[in-house]
Structure 1
Amino acid sequence: MENAQLIGLSRQIALQRQMDVVANNIANINTTGFKSEQLLFEEYLMPVARDRDFPTLDQSLSYTDDWTTIHDMSGGALVETGNPLDVALQGDGFLAVETTAGERYTRSGSLAIDTSGTLVDLNGNPVLGNGGPIQFAAGETDIMIAEDGSVSSSAGQKGRLRLVEFADPQSTTREGSNLWAGTDPIEATETRVLQGSIEKSNVNGVGEMTEMIRVQRAYESAASLISKQDDQRRTAIQKLGNLNG
């Protein structure tokens, strides 16, 4: 009877984690360049009742294990903004930015120029070119960003955006503020930069709301099962107590 409750509890814990993932997806439905996540589950078998005197083999119990979280790296919808500092990435590449924790990566192409003339992301992190942060002098106009990431202005060439890819995008990790961390980045060769546009989140709002309802119902079903098992155990204890009396 305790085994059934433990199995139900493992399912509830996994569903709670899944609800966190779904809620985070929905919360970022309007976040530029956001990539949704999905939780993968696997069956965890645990043998019980080990004894050589038993006539049958050990019975295995099936628990739920939330194994890992995967990133949906598919592209989001492209929206034209007309802002020359907005860029959308078509392909698997990331923009490289400089943070206090080191080089990080983002798909959010809503860029700006700060008071020092540095090209930055929405969090104020300098956007890196192949030679370091890209700088503009006061009064520069006609900023152009080519498909290969080359940046120019009325003052001439300013550098080229550092675009990187990863051999295994699933090895990257989120760090908040729409930033990613990863090891061994390589130069992006199949990523095209589109100036004057941004990439929207790839979250499917209707699908995520449907998933949230499904997870909530599954959680309630597991809670109901645990409650019934608890009632059965209480009844069994009461009956055994009456027999002993």
Structure 2
Amino acid sequence: MENAQLITLSRQTALRNQLTVVANNMANLNTSGYKAQRLNFEEYLMPVAEATEFPTPDETLSYVHDYATTFNFSEGGIRTTDNPFDLAVEGDGFFAVQMEDGTEAFTRNGAFHLDVGGTLVTATGRPVLTEGGPISFTTEDGQVEIARDGTISSELGARGRIRLVDFEDKQSLLQLGENLYVGNEPLPIQPIRGVVQGALEEANVDGVVEMTRLIEITRAYESVTKMQSDMDELRKTAIQTLGTLQA
């Protein structure tokens, strides 16, 4: 395989991965607390590929390398809802939730509700953590209020405080799916000032920007594909011409 083909294949692979990222952003346009992702590229310089038939030691080829996916952790807009257990975070911070194995995961999606046992859980049924662990309510609690500092109160009095954490390096977080992240050494936020009850943070995805990127990626992929087709046609013509001359 010629070096030109290897380079265009590296570009096609990067474009395919970029398309996956953009499509995922578009799919989560209406997901509360979702953070847009970006695929980062770099130029990867290397000597002539071993597959070439005519190596040139002094030549360095430039490939495309998609080396990392990063998150845009800027805040999304705040949208009010009619659910008193919907929570949004203004500023830095992640809600802590309990996974099936007892470990913690973190999210900006505050679409919470009470399960059949009265436990405050995420949309997928995972317990939301307070500073004292999961919290449950009964009919005796009556109306539940959650203050800006995360303090949870009911007709029975103070019930606890929502646990919010942050990370020194948010880009080190690993995405689990379902808008959940895991990370090492979460830092408790003190004092808490940004909890908004009866509201949700919208995704920070700009639909117009993502659609523009989608068009650009599609056009770039078509251009690279045409280049490969032209090279194949050129090679085919060269082989036919050489075959005619030898005959």
Looking at structure 1, the residues matched to 48 and 111 of structure 2 have their Cα atoms a distance apart, in angstroms, of: 56
What letter is aligned with 2:2?
E
Equivalent runs, 1:80-229 vs 2, <5 Å: 80-101=80-101, 102-189=103-190, 192-229=194-231
Match of 2:42?
Answer: 42
Of 226, 232, 240, the residue aligned with 2:242 is 240
CA deviations 1:58-117 (Å, max 9, x no partner) are 111111011100000000010111421111101120000001142101111111111111
Q: In structure 2, do the counterparts of structure 1 residues 216 and 157 end up closer, same or farther at CA, with 3 Å as the change threshold?
A: same
1:6 aligned counterpart, secondary structure: helix
1:241 aligned counterpart, secondary structure: helix
Match of 1:53?
Answer: none
Q: Which 5+ residue runs of structure 1 have no aligned equivalent?
A: 51-55
* TM-fit CA distance, 1:243: 2.1
Equivalent runs, 1:69-84 vs 2, <5 Å: 69-84=69-84
Contact 1:141–1:154 (CA under 8 A) maintained in structure 2: yes
Contact 2:3–2:48 (CA under 8 A) maintained in structure 1: no
Identity %: 50
* TM-fit CA distance, 1:137: 2.0
2:11 aligned counterpart, secondary structure: helix
What letter is aligned with 2:203?
S
Contact 1:151–1:159 (CA under 8 A) maintained in structure 2: yes
Query: Under a length normalisation based on structure 1, what TM-score does the superposition of the two structures give?
Result: 0.94
Match of 1:33?
Answer: 33
What letter is aligned with 2:100?
T
Contact 1:49–1:59 (CA under 8 A) maintained in structure 2: no
Match of 2:66?
Answer: 66
1:117 aligned counterpart, secondary structure: coil
* TM-fit CA distance, 1:191: 5.7
Contact 1:135–1:158 (CA under 8 A) maintained in structure 2: no
Contact 1:108–1:178 (CA under 8 A) maintained in structure 2: yes
1:139 aligned counterpart, secondary structure: helix
Q: In structure 2, do the counterparts of structure 1 residues 81 and 49 end up closer, same or farther at CA, with 3 Å as the change threshold?
A: closer
What value does the CA root-mean-square deviation take over the aligned residues? 1.6
What letter is aligned with 1:11?
R
Contact 1:94–1:164 (CA under 8 A) maintained in structure 2: yes
What letter is aligned with 2:195?
V
Q: How many positions carry a matched residue from both structures?
A: 240
Q: Which 5+ residue runs of structure 2 have no aligned equivalent?
A: 51-55
* TM-fit CA distance, 1:154: 0.7
Contact 2:38–2:69 (CA under 8 A) maintained in structure 1: yes
Looking at structure 2, the residues matched to 240 and 142 of structure 1 have their Cα atoms a distance apart, in angstroms, of: 86
